[in-house]
Amino acid sequence: MPVWKWALLLALSLALAMLMYTIFQVLYFAFTEDQWIPLLVGLVAPVCMIGLYALFVRWFEKHWAQDIPLRRLAQDTAKGFGIGLGFFVIVVLVMMLLGLYHIDSIGTDKPLDVLSAFFMFLLVGTGEEIMFRGVLFRWIDEKWGFMAALIVSSLLFGFMHYFGPVATLWSSLAIAVEAGLLLGAAYKYAGTLWLPIGIHWAWNFTQGNVFGFEVSGNDAGVSLLKASVSGSDWLTGGAFGAEASVITVMIGFILSAWFIWKVIQRKAW
């Protein structure tokens, strides 16, 4: 297939994936005054998006999607969730040791809001992983190889976050390094979307609704911990949240390097 045609088809696939993701996001936020409808959308939307992804691959690419095996749904999603949760526990522990993060109170009087955010971030993780790993990474990997797919998908994933309310060039680069590399390498290592979806899901929910940080510069709403964050922006992440912290970047890079090394060891690149 000529490169121009391949690039055009890739752009079309990404546009359709983004449209699907945007529609479900709009549905979620259109009913925020009602506590139950967003919760329902957060539950149903990820299932619908995975189903639409499977149908699109079968219809458009003429084969069954190999990266969403149901037999590994629970196992890989749970592993990913554990990695994302552990990642931010380590980040916060380091910040606490450095005197940057101080817990003021524990608990919330709005548990349903926390539950709604839990499933909202499942929606976010599913939609963005379909776009950036299921479509972009996979297509480039199949044509140009693992390293090209990893670099391009990571940079574009970081660039997508540049348009946030308090985003900077540094925050976008930080996300590309700590999250883009990690999610891409985890996808290649596992061979399924479930692992990066689990990581992405826990990553957002843990930092926003457990530890009370902004998520990519956006207020995540109610959190289980109320905390005070003080110190240099390059250590705390400032208004953008912990994702823009050099601590998070270093931990994310180390974890990404481990996954990349495991992929290379298996000669899967």
SS (H, E, C) 87-112: HHHHHHHHHHHCCCEEEEEECCCCHH
How long a stretch of residues is the chain?
269
Q: What is the predicted pLDDT for the residue at 268?
A: 54
Full residue range of the structural domain in which residue 61 is found: 3-265
Bridge partners (DSSP) listed for residue 218: 215
Q: What is the predicted pLDDT for the residue at 38?
A: 87
157 phi, psi to nearest 5 deg: -65, -45
* Cβ–Cβ < 8 Å for 204, 214: no
Low-confidence residues of the chain, pLDDT below 50?
none
Q: What is the predicted pLDDT for the residue at 31?
A: 78
Distance between CA atoms of residues 87 and 253, nearest Å = 11
Q: What is the predicted pLDDT for the residue at 269?
A: 54
Which residue bears the tokens 């060039």?
A: 169
Residue type, 107: G
Q: Is 246 exposed, middle or buried (0-12, 13-18, 19+ CB in 10 A)?
A: middle
E-strand spans in the chain? 101-106, 225-229
H runs (alpha helix) in 98-215: 111-129, 138-144, 146-160, 169-175, 181-190, 194-205
Angle, alpha carbons 85-90-92 (nearest 5°):
95
E-strand spans in 100-145? 101-106
Helical packing angle, 111-129 and 194-205, nearest 10°: 140
Count of domains for the chain: 1
Q: Which residues contact 208 (CB under 8 A, 6 or more apart)?
A: 117, 121, 214, 215, 220, 221, 223, 241
Q: What is the predicted pLDDT for the residue at 89?
A: 97
